[in-house]
């Protein structure tokens, strides 16, 4: 039977999350009145984290075989686990509890980037987007295009200057991105930057009602009424701004006054770095009237950070391969992956990169000593300080 997670000798970098995982222990035990359960939620979550830090593990069966190793048993405070118990876990344990661990860890993260004074207003910038995780045709819950094309969708709120996820939800592939932002991901005191998939006056009103702000890309032909139109400054023009309009109304005349008479702003930016197939002109709206126009353009440029994170999550951290075919199992795996990415940021104090991730994998696999890992991290810090 599983024991409480001990201080993880040789795995001290997981100590930060161990007390949070310990809270999960009793989840799913209601069905086990006889007390025969040999895999508790806290240990299952710890095993998932170790899975992400060992590239040699590529399947649920591989993870199961690893539970026979003494070092893994010591690190996760339990004995060998059967394949059936690992498979059952995806149906027994509540992913929402692991999501709570993610949010608590993210809340405790400090900013990873020092912003210049002229960019300080962007400190609480949150990029929101969705990304598909391809699923098997037999995963009927993962509705997407048709019976032959299934997918789950990760909806992510990514804190740009903490370089990590703040919150996330998982839905079938056809899940509404707008609805997930409105119902699940909105928080006060943020500046949400979103692409055209989130274009909705009602959603923008919800963001304001949540006491947050927005920078949103909209269609070129969106209706509006001009209140005033100042000439872009030299700095704005250098950033690609070709028009900066303060709006009396956004939307056609028959729309309700969704922004309640508050002025908004429309900034048109020439996207000089556009690649083939991308829009060369961006039409942005925001409720930030005091920002210089070039800062509005920069805020939307930072939205790309969430796309880079999706690539990191799938290609480097290995979340492209799904360990489970159930909705709950996929959600558990995704939340564990997001927790792993937050931990990497906390351990290093910077945005994690491929080389740093590999070094931690070497450490958890026993190839690198703790001293070698510490030396590597100190070298990273010294390089950052010398280039500052």
Q: In the prediction, which pLDDT does 296 show?
A: 97
Q: Please tell me which residue, 235 or 275, carries the higher pLDDT value.
A: 235
Q: Which two tokens stand for residue 247?
A: 């709006």
Q: In the prediction, which pLDDT does 78 show?
A: 82
Cα dihedral sign, 100-103-108-109: positive
Other CB atoms within 10 Å distance of the CB of residue 156: 25
Q: What is the mean pLDDT of residues 55-63?
A: 90
Task: Please say if the pLDDT value at position 35 is more than 80.
Answer: no
Query: pTM for this structure?
Result: 0.90
The residues spanned by each domain of the chain are 12-101+328-387, 196-289
Give the confidence band of 34 by pLDDT, cuts at 50, 70, 90. Answer: very low
Say if CB 161 and CB 122 are below 8 A apart: yes
- Report the Cα–Cα distance between both ends of the chain, in Å, rounded: 51
Q: Is 385 exposed, middle or buried (0-12, 13-18, 19+ CB in 10 A)?
A: exposed
For 319-348, the pLDDT digits (tens) are 888 999 999 999 999 999 999 999 988 888
Tally of CA atoms within 13 A in the half-sphere of 63 that contains its CB: 25
Task: Please say if the pLDDT value at position 266 is more than 90.
Answer: yes
Integer Cα distance of 198 and 220 in angstroms: 15
Question: Three-state DSSP class for 264?
Answer: strand
Q: What is the overall mean pLDDT for the chain?
A: 88
Integer Cα distance of 388 and 376 in angstroms: 19
For 173-227, the pLDDT digits (tens) are 999 999 999 999 999 999 999 999 999 999 999 999 999 999 999 999 999 999 9
Q: In the prediction, which pLDDT does 94 show?
A: 94
Q: In the prediction, which pLDDT does 8 show?
A: 37
Integer Cα distance of 159 and 112 in angstroms: 10
Q: In the prediction, which pLDDT does 31 show?
A: 57
Helix (H) or strand (E) holding 76: helix 70-76
Task: Please say if the pLDDT value at position 5 is more than 70.
Answer: no
Q: Please tell me which residue, 29 or 54, carries the higher pLDDT value.
A: 54
Q: In the prediction, which pLDDT does 6 show?
A: 40
For 91-116, the pLDDT digits (tens) are 999 999 999 999 999 987 665 567 88
Q: In the prediction, which pLDDT does 37 show?
A: 63
For 345-361, the pLDDT digits (tens) are 888 877 878 899 999 88
Most confident of 84-88, 264-268, 275-279, 362-366: 264-268
Integer Cα distance of 376 and 98 in angstroms: 30
């Amino acid at each position: 039977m599983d024991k409480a997670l001990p201080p993880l000798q040789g795995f001290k970098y997981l100590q930060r999350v161990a007390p949070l995982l310990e809270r999960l222990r009793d989840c799913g035990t209601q069905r086990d009145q006889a007390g025969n359960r040999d895999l508790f939620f806290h240990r299952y979550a710890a095993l998932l984290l170790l899975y992400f830090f060992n590239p040699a593990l590529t399947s649920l069966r591989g993870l199961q075989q690893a539970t026979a190793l003494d070092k893994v048993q010591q690190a996760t405070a339990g004995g060998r686990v059967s394949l059936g118990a690992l498979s059952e876990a995806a149906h027994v344990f509540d992913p929402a509890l692991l999501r709570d661990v993610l949010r608590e860890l993210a809340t405790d993260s400090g900013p990873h980037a020092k912003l210049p004074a002229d960019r300080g207003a962007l400190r609480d910038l949150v990029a929101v987007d969705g990304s598909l995780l391809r699923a098997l045709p037999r995963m009927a819950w993962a509705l997407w295009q048709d019976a032959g094309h299934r997918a789950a969708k990760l909806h992510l709120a990514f804190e740009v200057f903490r370089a990590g996820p703040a919150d996330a939800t998982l839905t079938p592939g056809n899940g509404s991105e707008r609805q997930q932002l409105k119902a699940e991901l909105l928080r006060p005191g943020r500046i949400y930057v979103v692409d055209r998939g989130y274009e909705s006056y009602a959603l923008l009103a919800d963001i304001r009602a949540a006491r947050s702000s927005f920078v949103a890309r909209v269609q070129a032909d969106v209706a509006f009424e001009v209140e005033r139109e100042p000439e872009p400054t030299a700095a704005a023009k250098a950033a690609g701004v070709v028009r900066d309009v303060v709006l009396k109304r956004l939307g056609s005349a028959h729309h309700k006054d969704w922004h309640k008479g508050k002025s908004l702003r429309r900034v048109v930016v020439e996207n000089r770095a556009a690649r083939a197939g991308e829009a060369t002109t961006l039409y942005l709206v925001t409720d930030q009237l005091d920002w210089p126009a070039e800062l509005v353009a920069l805020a939307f440029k930072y939205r790309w950070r969430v796309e880079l994170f999706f690539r990191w999550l799938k290609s480097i951290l290995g979340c492209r391969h799904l360990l489970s075919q159930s909705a709950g199992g996929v959600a558990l795996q995704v939340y564990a992956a997001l927790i792993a990415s937050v931990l990497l940021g906390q351990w290093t104090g910077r945005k994690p990169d491929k080389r740093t991730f590999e070094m931690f994998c070497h450490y958890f696999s026993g190839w690198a000593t703790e001293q070698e890992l510490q030396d590597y991290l100190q070298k990273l810090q010294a390089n950052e300080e010398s280039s500052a």
